[in-house]
Amino acid sequence: MAHTSYTNCIGTFVFDDKKLVEEKLSGKKEILTNSAKMTAETPPFYVLEALAQPKYLALMREATILITKRKVAESLRPEYLVVQAVSNVDEIDKVANNLAKRLREWYELYNPEFSKSIEAHEKFAELIQQKTRKELLAELGMTEAESMGAEIPAEDMKPIMELAKQMSELYALRARHAEYIETTMTRLLPNVTAMCGSMIGAKLLAVAGSLEKLALFPASTIQLLGAEKALFRHIKTGAKPPKFGIIINHPIVARTKPADKGKAARMLADKISIAAKIDFFKGEFKGDALRKEVEEKFR
């Protein structure tokens, strides 16, 4: 039997020599992998004729749904996983901050002086698990009798310590995720990562949506990624235009003196744009050289 196939926007159809849609349609695999080309001899109206039969219509519906599902599944770009990880790290930061405030309020009933003496939440959660109140107070040159902390029985301290442990685990998870972002960014976007580090790079990627979009943006767009609110406020109300978005946190911009920050951001965005294009079109690694160029200019 001779076969022909027909491809249109809804999919690829295989016809037998009587110009009827083949029963084989139900062998789903075959539709999906069919690579036959549409030929001039299979005009569309044969398809419509065949689809008038309910049996084939149902088969085709099923087949096109499957094709669509496969296309959805295949549409996942690898960099999208990094974008997810970055949002997650941001969320963990927020979450850890909220839990830390609760932990401190609770723990301060027991040992207020130590809590006030240390600002970093992570270190705080760690230390109160490792050392006794007496040891922690001794470091501040105090005794337990001089503390305003109350005596709390062990069974009431337990939930506080469990919360501290959970906090430490949350921070450890954050560290592992940051490492994952670092590794993956270095693999997928080596040049962008060399230019601006994995976190800033991943955030640019997240706002852009995909590496393709990031690569095709002009440098001026990259400069303002993450400053959309200020940009639209400028367009709508004529307020001062923003000079930088996410890249404000880049060490080069951060350490430049205020008057030059805008200039630094412009040059940085320029080079990031080049780096993104190299990454997208799989060019040779040039990230370090690009970064050095900007660094030398703004020392």
Sort 268 into a burial class: Cβ within 10 Å, 0-12 / 13-18 / 19+.
buried
Q: What is the rounded CA–CA span in Å between residue 25 and residue 3?
A: 12
Rg (CA), the chain: 30
Residues 109-138 that bind a second copy (CB under 8 A): 109
Q: Give, in order, the Cα–Cα distances in Å from 105 to each of 68, 93, 100, 160, 298.
A: 53, 19, 9, 10, 44
In the set 36, 180, 216, 249, which binds a second copy (CB under 8 A)?
Answer: 180
Q: How many whole angstroms separate alpha carbon 180 and alpha carbon 296? A: 30
Q: Which of 26, 87, 129, 220 binds a second copy (CB under 8 A)?
A: 87
- By C-alpha distance, which of 188, 177, 199 is closest to 251? 199
Integer CA distances (angstroms), 9 to 17, 35, 189, in order: 23, 15, 33
Q: Are 123 and 116 in contact (CB under 8 A)?
A: no
Stretch of residues binding a second copy (CB under 8 A), selected from 13-21, 87-95, 126-134, 242-250 = 87-95
Q: Which of 66, 161, 219, 230 binds a second copy (CB under 8 A)?
A: 66
* Per CB under 8 A, 146 contacts a second copy: yes
Residues 39, 15: Cα–Cα separation, whole Å: 11
61 binds a second copy (CB under 8 A): no
Figure out which of the listed residues 9, 48, 52, 94 binds a second copy, where binding follows CB under 8 A: 94
Binding string, 150-179, against a second copy, x = CB under 8 A? xxx---x-xx--xx--x--xx--x--xx--
The verdict on 259 binding a second copy (CB under 8 A) reads: no
Q: Is 233 exposed, middle or buried (0-12, 13-18, 19+ CB in 10 A)?
A: middle
Of 46-54, 90-98, 115-123, 225-233, the segment contacting a second copy by CB under 8 A is: 90-98
| Nearest-approach distance from CB 55 to a second copy, in angstroms | 21
Burial class (CB in 10 A: 0-12, 13-18, 19+), 113: middle
Q: How far is the CB of 19 from a second copy (least distance, A)?
A: 29
With contacts defined by CB under 8 A, name the span among 43-51, 101-109, 252-260, 263-271 that binds a second copy. Answer: 101-109
Q: Which one, 170 or 200, has the nearer CB to a second copy?
A: 170
* Residue from the set 69, 116, 134, 292 that interacts with a second copy by CB under 8 A: 69
Q: Give the residue with the Cβ less far from a second copy, 81 or 127.
A: 81
- Residues in contact with a second copy, shown as a per-residue x/- string from 198 to 227 under the rule CB under 8 A: ------------------------------
Of these, 1, 2, 9, 148, which contacts a second copy (CB under 8 A)?
148
In the structure encoding, which two tokens stand for residue 85, read together? 């990880």
Question: Which listed residue (12, 42, 184, 223) binds a second copy by CB under 8 A?
Answer: 184
Which residues of the chain form contacts with a second copy (CB under 8 A)? 28, 66, 69, 72-76, 78, 80-81, 84-85, 87-88, 91-92, 94-95, 98-99, 102, 105-106, 109, 145-152, 156, 158-159, 162-163, 166, 169-170, 173, 176-177, 180, 184
